[in-house]
Structure 1
């Protein structure tokens, strides 16, 4: 028996679902790339990430408890909120009670919209024959019916509701409303008197509802019960949903007075018999101990009521519901609660276990959500045994659901081969359209999950599914993450890191933070004579395919970022020289004494591609070492190039593929301070902050030049590198090169110029 010692009320509120556009659907079918958000703000990194193939249509929305399986958002999307359901049920009952001789829209107008004056006009038309009914009112079919048959009791009742409504309604259902007890009590007395004058027991029942509702909403709980006991015996009416609306108010008063077993039993009856009030009945249902549970259970008069109690406990309790399912099955195997609870447990189990082996978020789910829970594997086996028992005994009303569930639980357990066999065995026997669709969705999921090795045939099969399978195209949000994770897991298992990366993320994430392991694997793939369909999908970049030249260029960029000029040039030579310029041209040798990343560059400046830049830097290095007299100038040009190709220069794209203006101020990766964590990119954003190489060349330029003007410039540029490294790394601020410039080169023309132009240096010299 489930413990009730910590049981508290359950409150749920729904959000509307967001429809997915057709353009997203088409895009999703062609690649695996996840939707990401830019900027420092992004998706909740602790959100649970798992898989689900259960569709809400597998269970009927009107089934008792369906909201707590489907989720209120889905239920409301399909069937409307409780208030709307109650209104519709109310209109249906008015419609049937008056022999369906009025349009529902007209009933709605009279019951909910008409002011008292319009109702009074119809009453006058009935009681004063010469008065008649205006053409405006007569065109309403319900008003015409009431007028024709002289239904003054109904009209007086509707007038009474206009006076009651302000005291029992609110735009906020949780608002603590002040009440005017004197007015409310006078309305209760008036309603009781008018009720007793009515010949129609149906109108009497409605008066009783309004009166009891007034007492409950004004927190007169004892009086609510007294009125219920006094009024209800005076109503002799055919079964009506209004009786359960009244019973709900009685239950609320009982609970407020601490009579929890009686209240819980009343809420269970409302839940059982009144679909439009099930939500509020379940939300209000409260049992606090095993003793209260036993007392409530004793009040039940039928197996149906006992099963309802078990179901409500299972719906609300966060523990596993298998025990309640067994108890309900023992009471009555045909209870619809069993179907609802089955789907609920299937949903819980798939969240815990479906695709667990290859879910790339498995560790994070365990850390933040404690999923999978301890003992869940054993619980799955118990549920499977129960489902198998149901399928053998064939006593339930929805045998197709239970048959499909057996296969899906095999799939959830990771036994995809057995699941496929189970689905194939029952496929021809499933006649319900929604069930057939669900089975086919499950079967596709099992097929994808069943692959255990990488081959051209497997990759072609999955690529074909992505492009043409009906369910892949209809439900990309379900199948794409699942397939992506399965493929990524297989690629990693078979030592294919590049393909694994592209299974999870777009190539642009690798461009932003390149890694040699992935790039080498992609080169190996691109060197094949034939690419299969999946490989072409993985390599798709918008309307084009990633090429072998793209990877060679990216490897050259990585090596240049690491100051490996000769290996970088060797990588460039693997690309046709005529294609070098296709990847961009820059001017890294421009002399500029203030940082300006996006400043315009004069037309007279020579722009070079990445390969030409590397060649020139190698030439400068050779000439600097070979000619000591002019070496300082060559070292200075190399320092300019490295500075301008850093994060702080206008040619940053030579060594980087993405620059964010906020990167310098944001936190850095603990293991690699050149990487800025960024939720837009899987590996973060690598920036070339380090100005140490430029600083070294500026220092050598100062040391190896005979020109004091050039030495002054080199000292100032070295000071900028020193400053930028402090901004990047932090620590103790140093002014070594500023001091050299001030101490040794104060008589130069450049010194006078830079003191005038650079306020920061001017401030330093004035200290």
Structure 2
């Protein structure tokens, strides 16, 4: 059955709102198997679908204005100077540096020349008086520079323009334009004049200067288009959106070093304004640039069809096709929702994309696009998403038939998708299928190219879904937790799952699968060898879950005493008590015995047995147990004994992780077992900490993230008194005010001090 995918009308959603910002980031959040870099045209790679709409793609060599400009200067000087030397004087030198050069020329000395210019052949020729006209222009350009660049001290400062100085420079530039007979320099003087007028915000003058100074030259280098971008900006500032957009489309198409600026200044237009812009176009090729930019900035499917009708072999079409497929993939499988509950196949099935596929396959079959094999490849991939495997095979066969020798990678890309199709199409995963697919599975993992890691993750995801359907939860977990490479773990498996979702992640079943050698297949071994957790890791997870239930005896049976990891040694003494919770403080005073989870469990059993067997030190032992039960909660210094991570923003905790009642119970037992008033005061204070923590939990302050904002207008939350969460503070104040500990608590605990002084 052919399954369609989603309405094509929204395929090209603009990506200008998806960047995290404000810093540049070229790493897209988009997830998918259709890698846009399959297109090797670097002049258009900045226009792949990406959330980083404002990334600094100008550093890409083909789009870099500096690279373009230096190339023209090298040609002008007949390659006499290196790109580095030219860049140093044009882009790396300040106006002050140029003044020093002029002084050096007058004095015929090199002693004061800036270091980055001292050894340059350009400097030597300048001082010797060679290329005087060219250096005259470079000096003028440096004089203009402060008036046409961003001179703000920071992003919050106001941009300052000296319009008087700009007017003087403009007149000077026009004079130099008239004086020189060098067409190359004349064009550049014209550019400086047009730019000055634009930044002066004299938009009519900008347009007039461009028309007067450039039209008489009959000479077009990149500078012509650089100046044209200023004219287009001036026209837009005067309110003519359609003509300015037309000019920006020309600049986009003709001048790579202004391609980014042009795309950012082309305005998204409604239908009537779009056709007004198209009316300015002189031929079909000019129209393709307008349609491309319109499609790039909007979600209009008609743009792609129109572009194909005008110029089927346009490179712009390939970019729009990759953007469409990348957007489709992102809609199917949102980056931020990649969890082990997402059913990929069902998402593919429910989407409806018939118009898109029909358009792509019709273009492919006509074989009149720039690279017909690319269109067949895209059609094959869409067929896979539609789960139309026969069409997929047919399209991939055509792609391989037409692929040129200089792009052999298509064969590997197609092989990846064909392997995925095998897994996707298989109804039941049995030993025979596992045996047949193992070699292909290893090949995809080992390839490390062409998004093969994403493809492998997709394949493991499909395996896991099918295993879950077959009730083979152990293998399903193995697939979800497959390790892609050294240190490269997927985020689909977590120790938390084994506690919070035991039906989907049955730990005991997984351990039995890992331990058993009976009838283990090659595929089983492959999963076990590459699972994120080793057998020892699983033992520690099992032991930790038992510790969280206070089942210390059975926890020790899992033999995790020699497991080495980041939390092998506890960072603090779990039997230590402090007035104020301070994990870092506890860690700094840890100078004696270092505990592990294993030695902690042994010590807990020893203390319990001592209490049962003898009355000696009973109060102290109760106190040590109480400290331990407190410290293994969220609030204590050894929370990692019973859980795997600590976050104030999560509610996915073991119930005991936030519960201080066990600690409170043992502090009260310690009180009854002792006659020492100071010791009793200490225990009552600790019980008060448990009581206060219970208030945060019971009243929802912890979940609402108000735990750290207990004070409001410099006063504690009144509820804590009103609702009897201060019983132990009252007991401490009423019955233990003469103890030494009372004085210490009054001094060190702001909560207790406030309670006593404001009762």
Q: TM-score, normalised by structure 2?
A: 0.69
Alpha-carbon spacing, 1:222–1:765, altered in 2? closer, same or farther (3 Å): closer
Match of 2:140 among 143, 146, 160: 160
In structure 2, relative to structure 1, the CA distance for the partners of 1:176 and 1:209 (3 Å cut) is: farther
1:591-740 maps to which residues of 2 (within 5 A)?
610=601, 617=608, 643-648=626-631, 657-658=641-642, 666=648, 669=651, 687=657, 689-692=659-662, 695=665, 709=675, 717=683, 720-721=686-687, 723-730=689-696, 732-733=723-724
> Which residue, 528, 533, 544 being the options, matches 1:536?
528
Give the aligned partner of residue 363 of structure 2: 390
Change (3 A) 1:694 1:464: farther
Pair 1:226–1:551, CA change in 2 (3 A): closer
Partner of 2:508: 520
- Alpha-carbon contact 2:416-2:455 (below 8 Å) kept: no
1:2-21 map, 5 Å: none
The structure that has the greater radius of gyration is 1
Q: Distance in 2 between matches of 1:169 and 1:400?
A: 46
In 2, distance between residues paired with 1:184 and 1:595? Answer: 65
Q: Which residue of 2 aligns with 1:352?
A: 331
Shift of 1:601: 11
651-660 or 529-538, larger mean C-alpha shift: 651-660
Deviation, 1:526, is 3.8
Aligned to 2:701: none
Is 1:509 matched up with 2:509?
A: no
The root-mean-square deviation of aligned C-alpha atoms, in Å, is 5.8
CA distance in 2, matches of 1:105, 1:501: 56
1:234 counterpart SS class = coil
Provide the C-alpha distance between the structure 2 equivalents of 1:482 and 1:199, rounded to a whole number of angstroms. Answer: 65
1:407 aligns with 2:380: yes
Once the two structures are superposed, residues 277-323 of structure 1 have per-residue CA deviations (whole angstroms, 9 ceiling, x without a partner) of 11111111125543322221111110111111111101112x1x431
- Residues 191-590 of structure 1 aligned to structure 2 (within 5 Å): 191-237=173-219, 239-286=220-267, 288-317=269-298, 319=299, 321-353=300-332, 359-360=338-339, 377-378=351-352, 380-413=353-386, 419=392, 422-423=395-396, 426-427=399-400, 429-431=402-404, 432-436=407-411, 438-440=413-415, 442-443=417-418, 446=421, 453-455=428-430, 465=441, 469-472=445-448, 478-479=454-455, 481-483=457-459, 485-497=461-473, 500=476, 503-504=480-481, 509-510=495-496, 517=503, 518-526=506-514, 528-530=516-518, 532-537=524-529, 539=531, 541=533, 545-546=535-536, 550=540, 553-554=543-544, 556-560=546-550, 571=554
Inter-partner Cα distance in structure 2 for 1:602 and 1:192: 83
Deviation at 1:486, TM superposition (A): 3.8
1:7–1:71 Cα change, 3 Å = closer
CA gap of 1:290–1:662, structure 2 versus 1, over 3 A, is closer
Question: Shift of the alpha carbon at 1:263?
Answer: 1.1
Q: Are 1:726 and 1:733, in contact at CA under 8 Å, matched by a contact in 2?
A: no
Q: Deviations over 1:339-390 (max 9, x none)?
A: 111111111111112599x95278799xxxxx989x9933x32111111001
Q: Which secondary structure does the structure 2 equivalent of 1:529 belong to?
A: coil
CA separation of 1:487/1:310 partners in 2, compared to 1, >3 Å: closer, same or farther?
same
Q: Give the aligned partner of residue 171 of structure 2.
A: 189
Paired residue secondary structure (1:546): helix
Deviations for 1:709-738, whole angstroms, at most 9, x for unmatched residues?
499988985774465144234463357678
Judge conservation of contact 1:595–1:648 (CA < 8 Å) in 2. no
Which residues of structure 1 form unaligned runs of 5+? 20-47, 126-135, 366-370, 562-567, 624-629, 676-685
- The Cα shift of 1:328 comes to 0.8
Aligned length in residues? 671
**Post-superposition CA distance 1:13-34 (Å, at most 9, x none):** 8956699xxxxxxxxxxxxxxx
How far apart, in 2, do the equivalents of 1:345 and 1:560 lie?
Answer: 55
Q: Of the two structures, which has the highest relative contact order with CA contacts closer than 8 Å and spacing of 6 or more?
A: 1
Aligned counterpart for 1:115 among listed residues 94, 98, 107 = 98
The Cα of 1:223 is off from its aligned counterpart by 0.9
Match of 2:150 in 1: 170
